[in-house]
Homo-oligomer: A and B are copies of this chain.
Amino acid sequence: MIIVLKTDATKEQINHVVEKVKSFGLDVNVSEGKERTVIGVIGDEEKLRVKPLESLPGVESVMEILKPYKRVSRDFSPADTVITIGNVKIGGGHFAIIAGPCAIENREMLENTAKQISGKGMAILRGGAFKPRTSPYAFQGLGEEGLKYLAEVGKKYNVPTVTEVMDTRDVDLVCRYADIIQIGTRNMQNFALLKEVGLTKIPVILKRGMMSTVQEWLMSAEYIVAGGNSQIILCDRGIRTFENSVRNSLDISSVPVVKQLSHLPVIVDPSHSGGKWSLVEPLSLAATAVGADGLIVEVHCCPEEALCDGDQSLLPRKFEKMVGSIEKILKVVGKKLS
């Protein structure tokens, strides 16, 4: 941590800051520059992170040097983490495609969709039983009934399943039915939920908050790891910007940035970022080329009838064609389809 003092900071103010820092068991390196005095803090920065140093008289600003996340960082564990679910691997050169409808509307639709993409590139089946909807009047999901359908269809087509959990009280229930649980963009900083999920042993897809920085995203992953669960797959799904021609702006740079900072696998959701089915293929190819470890794509056997996000769902035949192009790009970047 670096503490920058004001131009007119007095000797007393500087001493007061130094004593304050030392009182927390840390050491200092005081450097008197031509224009400003700068105090470098030596020791465990964590102790200072929540202390109100900027409010001390004479202090102009405080800059952090160490990253606030530890166990999810590449410094902590240099090799890529590989998450294994059944026969599927994600990370470390393994690229997995998660596909299925946004919401589980009924058993038939889910099975019909799964049947058409089974063996065509779908490694994991997705489907929502608890849906986060902006409006209280919109379809909220089938709940446990939906979870049952998902488990049955997954078993039938021999693929692991993933579904979202939104309430701490539902974590146990969801774990009984699904192979992976997803924490959605609006719950990325639902710390109670992160803690609850940290107590389980199930793999977790942690979606990036639509207006969260990469650092906050990694801190939320740190919550889960700190709780005891290190099976985390990060998933970028676009961020909120001023641009209004798409639902969210896919922050494609976050993939290589996270790869540099963390050992966790990162996948991309091209459906929620673009918000239109016509953007799903180009964004999926871009995500593959940029170095992502997988995709989570909305596919629906009949998008016109979907109760949720039909506009951004791909038809099964378009999905199959897209997977062909993805495989070719994977060769260029040295990965293989899981």
- Where the two chains meet, the residues of A that have a C-beta atom closer than 8 Å to any C-beta of B are 2, 4, 7, 20, 29, 31, 33-36, 38, 40, 42-44, 46, 49-56, 63, 65-66, 68, 75, 132-139, 166-170, 186-187, 189-192, 194-195, 209-216, 219, 222-223, 226-227, 239-246, 249-257, 260-261, 273-274, 276-279, 282-283, 285-291, 303-304, 306-311, 313, 325, 328-329, 331-333
Contacts and interface: CB of A to CB of B under 8 A. Distances in A.
Contacts of A260: 278
Given A211-B209, A242-B211, A332-B329, A189 B186 contact: yes
Contact of A56 (B44, B170, B254, B304): B304
B332 A285 contact: yes
A50 B308 CA distance: 6
A178 B186 CA distance: 26
A137 B46 contact: yes
Contacts of A279: 253, 256-257
The 4 closest A-B pairs by CB, nearest first: A52-B310, A211-B211, A167-B192, A289-B289
B213 A245 contact: yes
B42 A33 contact: yes
A76 B194 CA distance: 38
A285 B65 contact: no
26 contacts: A7-B75, A33-B40, A33-B43, A50-B307, A52-B303, A52-B310, A55-B303, A63-B63, A68-B134, A134-B189, A136-B223, A170-B192, A186-B189, A186-B190, A190-B190, A239-B242, A245-B253, A245-B261, A249-B249, A249-B251, A256-B278, A282-B289, A282-B291, A286-B287, A325-B332, A325-B333
Contacts of A251: 241, 243, 249-250
Chain A interface SS verdict (over half): mixed
Contact of A44 (B34, B134, B256, B288): B34
Given A209-B211, A246-B257, 19 more contacts: A29-B40, A34-B43, A36-B65, A38-B40, A38-B65, A52-B313, A55-B304, A132-B191, A168-B169, A170-B192, A190-B190, A239-B242, A252-B252, A257-B279, A285-B289, A285-B333, A286-B286, A289-B289, A329-B329
Select the residue from A215, A241, A243, A278 with max chain B CB neighbours within 10 A.
A243
A189 B75 CA distance: 34
A120 to B, nearest CB: 18
A242 B309 CA distance: 21
Nearest to A165: B192
Contacts of A333: 285, 325
Contacts of A212: 211
A44 B36 CA distance: 11
Contact of A289 (B138, B288, B309): B288
B213 A243 contact: yes
